[in-house]
Amino acid sequence: MPVTAEPLQASRPAQAPSTLGVGVIVWLASELMFFSGLFAAWFTLRGENEVWPPEGVELLVARTALATVALLASSGTMHAAVVAADRDDRRGAIRWLLVTMALGALFLANLIGEYIEAPFQIDSHAYGSIFYLMTGFHGLHVLGGLVLMVAIVAAITGRSLAPAGRTVDVCSYYWHFVDVVWVAMFTTIYLIG
């Protein structure tokens, strides 16, 4: 009786990465380079100016620290939205996305309030220019994240039967990136000076 070799069991095929996920990660890498340029400008200006920040600059450190806590808490609520979406709990995902949006809106409200109360403008001095550029571009990124979440909530509440998990997951990449950038920015601008 001839001996035949039994075919080796093939291991499970590797799942191809999501095109959307890869695209968002590549885009976030370019965003990291953009923000790196802003940080480089900050430290260059700081090194070239003997008095930094200039006289008369008073930042609302305590209030912005509270807004920072709200933004960091939004990372937790975003994670809860991802977990709910992965379980195909659309209501739970929507609820957590709405809480995340409220925390992000609170952060933006603080930023706008700080702009209104700041004793300097973007054209007052180099500090004003880089302060408004850094915090303004970050604020625009937070606003973009909120718009993205509104679109995702609209898609989830619609008639689509497509699983929501991947879309919410990719949105979370962006939101966590925005939060991490803010931690570096808050430390640089408000704590180190």
Q: How far is CA 160 from CA 90, 125, 149, 154, in A?
A: 11, 51, 16, 10
What is the number of domains present in the chain? 1
Residues of the chain above pLDDT 70, percent: 91
Range of the domain at 27: 19-192
CA angle 178-180-184, nearest 5°?
Answer: 115
User: Does residue 7 sit within a domain?
Assistant: no
Q: Does residue 138 lie in a domain region?
A: yes
Residue 12 included in any domain: no
Residue 116 within a domain: yes
Q: What is the pLDDT of residues 149-191, one digit of tens each?
A: 999 999 888 777 667 888 899 999 999 999 999 999 999 999 9
pLDDT tens for 150-161 read 999 998 887 776
pLDDT in tens, 97-156: 999 999 999 999 999 999 999 999 999 999 999 999 999 999 999 999 999 999 999 988
Q: What SS3 state is found at 13?
A: coil
In a domain? residue 10: no
Q: Look up the pTM and report it.
A: 0.86
CATH code for the domain in which residue 107 is found: 1.20.120.80
For residue 70, being part of any structural domain is answered with yes
59 in any annotated domain? yes
